[in-house]
Amino acid sequence: MSTALSETSTSGALYQQAIATLQRLLGEAAASGDPEPTAMNLASIDAAGRLSSRVVLLKGVDGNGLRFFSNYESAKAVQLALHPQAALSFHWKTLREQVQARFEGRINKLADVDSDAYFATRPRMSQIGAWASLQSQPLPSREVFDARVDQFEKRFADMAVPRPPHWGGYVLLPDLVEFWYGARYRLHERVRYQLHNGTWSTELLYP
Ligand SMILES: Cc1cc2nc3c(=O)[nH]c(=O)nc-3n(C[C@H](O)[C@H](O)[C@H](O)COP(=O)(O)O)c2cc1C
């Protein structure tokens, strides 16, 4: 059965329902003992069409999308600049009979002011690390990294650490959402929400 309502992108009731479901599952996953409930796989694609994926942490979700933070010069950043499209997936092993949530859609950079606000909440050493790490570039030795950490600790001694220009947030605005609820005998439940021509619809899928 497919349910289609006349609604658009982020304002629709079905979209809000999908976001609310994610927010509820994150809370339930934390309560179920998941040590890292916001960890999600981020898949992106390079210029040659080659896929890669890695884990990042969700740092916020609301009607505007799913937010995460990274180095704007990393391998993923180069890919996301070329193909501002990504897939995110969560897997909560301790939640119910296991639950998976998937989100696909368009990627935008977060506004600088929002990246600044989040950066300011990070522990000081994480802020120093954001300056010191040339994420995804070859590192000649651990000592080189340690020396860079020392260098930035000295540079920002006795002052608040500003956000590096090469570090900030992304937001994925989904056009496809799926929740997979594990069940006994592999009789899992899959619920998909999809945006087509400005209208969200939802349907069940065979597991
Ligand atoms: C649990 C966990 C959380 C992580 N969180 C982040 C994150 O929020 N942002 C980030 O840039 N990298 C994070 N990483 C590191 C990434 O997985 C990855 O190694 C790094 O971003 C470089 O990826 P890239 O070379 O594809 O750009 C995390 C790794 C793990 C295992």
Average pLDDT, the chain: 94
Rounded percentage of the chain residues whose pLDDT exceeds 70: 96
Ligand 1 proximity of 55 Cβ (cutoff 6 Å): yes
Residue closest to 194 by CA, chosen among 105, 100, 98, 127: 105
How far apart are the CA of 172 and the centre of ligand 1, in A?
A: 16
Confidence (pLDDT) at 4: 47
Phi, psi of 172 (to 5 degrees): -100, 120
Question: From residue 161, how far is each of 2, 126, 150, 156, 164 by CA, in Å?
Answer: 51, 10, 14, 6, 9
Tell me: the pLDDT tens digits for 103-144? 999 999 999 999 999 999 999 999 999 999 999 999 999 999
Residue whose CA is at the smallest distance from ligand 1 atom 30: 55
* pLDDT tens readout for residues 17-75: 999 999 999 999 999 999 999 999 999 999 899 999 999 999 999 999 999 999 999 99
**Which of 136, 123, 163 lies closest to 75, judged by CA?**
136
**Confidence check: pLDDT of 168 > 80:** yes
Q: Give the number of the atom of ligand 1 that is nearest the alpha carbon of residue 55.
A: 17
Say whether 31 sits in a helix, a strand or coil. helix
| Closest C-alpha residue for ligand 1 atom 29 | 55
In this predicted model, which residue has the larger pLDDT, 8 or 176?
176
Q: What is the pLDDT of residue 10?
A: 74
Does residue 99 register a pLDDT over 70?
yes
Q: Which of 50, 142, 184, 186 is catalytic?
A: 186
Q: What is the mean pLDDT of residues 169-184?
A: 96
The amino acid at 21: T
Distance of CA 168 from the midpoint of ligand 1 (Å): 13
Q: Is 56 in the pocket of ligand 1 (CB under 6 A)?
A: yes
- Residue 13 CA to ligand 1 centre (angstroms): 32
Q: Residue 55 and residue 180: Cα distance in Å, rounded?
A: 19
